[in-house]
Amino acid sequence: MKNVLVLAAPGAAGVLTHLHPLLLALGAFGIFCLTASGTYLVNDCLDQAADALHPTKRHRPVASGAVPMRLAAAVGVAMMALGIGLAEALAGWRLATVMGIYVGITVAYSLWLKDEPVIDLASVASGFVLRAIAGGVAVGVVLSNWFLIVASFGSLFMVAGKRHAEHVDLGPSRADHRVTLGAYSLAFLRYIRSVASAVAITAYCVWAFEKAAAPHHTALFFELSIVPFVIAVLRYALLLDAGQGGAPEEIVLKERSLQVLGLAWAVLFAMGLYGA
């Protein structure tokens, strides 16, 4: 689900209706699935002891002992290396560099950054942003600054919500699972969510007006797309406040209102791109 973000920039540029860009975007999506899976395997090896204390993560293959750590680590490293190599083969050094940065940040997070308050939030959020960048780099589309701001602060908004859910679910033992949870108060996490959502909404509005001003676009639909975007952010914020943000991908798959809003946004955005 997270790797669908690879298709965001090509989709926003309106190039996915052409076969070659579509194949490049799908290739980048597959490469990110491969590489991210490798980083998750390595992370699960490094977090085995902490995951064993988590109410749901303790059922993961490595944490439960179903998969030996040495095997998981070896397969994870091989998948990361293969992902970077395939990125070079698919779209050249730029995509390979993005994948290399993703691997570097993710491994650094697993080894060290996860224990640094605030830095850990930025590190996790960067994974979402790099997915969006990878799609644009693979296809060769120019990434709008406003698009990157929306992706960055939207990601930070979701990550803060994830930490909020962990804070509530783990209770007093939260610091035993994740050091930074001991440093975060619920008020601080709400503050981050408020700032991040405000910046993301503002940036999206500017980006929508930027798209509306471009030639061969239908301005009205881009402007109307602001409505489902803002309502979706507010709806997601309500779910986070109820402590349901532990797994963002599960919320998207289960919450019908977010699905309807996402579809409405996609239709309006597509009409803006192709309605002229």
Q: Look up tokens 């408020």; give the residue.
A: 194
State how far the alpha carbon of 81 is from the alpha carbons of 26, 38, 187, in Å: 19, 9, 40
pLDDT, one tens digit per residue, over 197-247 is 999 999 999 999 988 888 777 788 999 999 999 999 999 999 888 877 667
User: Over pLDDT 70: what percentage of the chain?
Assistant: 96
Question: Average pLDDT, whole number, for the chain?
Answer: 89
Instruction: Give the separation between CA 37 and CA 19, rounded to whole angstroms.
Output: 27
Q: In the prediction, which pLDDT does 166 show?
A: 82
Instruction: Please tell me whether the overall predicted TM-score, pTM, comes out greater than 0.85 for this model.
Output: yes
d(CA 250, CA 179): 25
List own/partner pairs for 82-86 with CB under 8 A and 24 or more apart. 82/34, 82/38, 83/31, 83/32, 83/34, 83/35, 83/38, 84/35, 86/27, 86/31, 86/34
The stretch 255-262 carries a mean pLDDT of: 92
Which residue would you say has higher pLDDT here, 261 or 251? 261
Give the pLDDT confidence score for residue 175 in this predicted structure: 66
**Could you tell me the pLDDT band of residue 267, with boundaries at 50, 70 and 90?**
very high
pLDDT at 176: 66
Nearby residues of 112 by Cβ (< 8 Å), 6 or more positions away: none
Q: What is the pLDDT of residue 137?
A: 95
pLDDT tens-digit readout, 113-146: 988 999 999 999 999 999 999 999 999 998 989 9
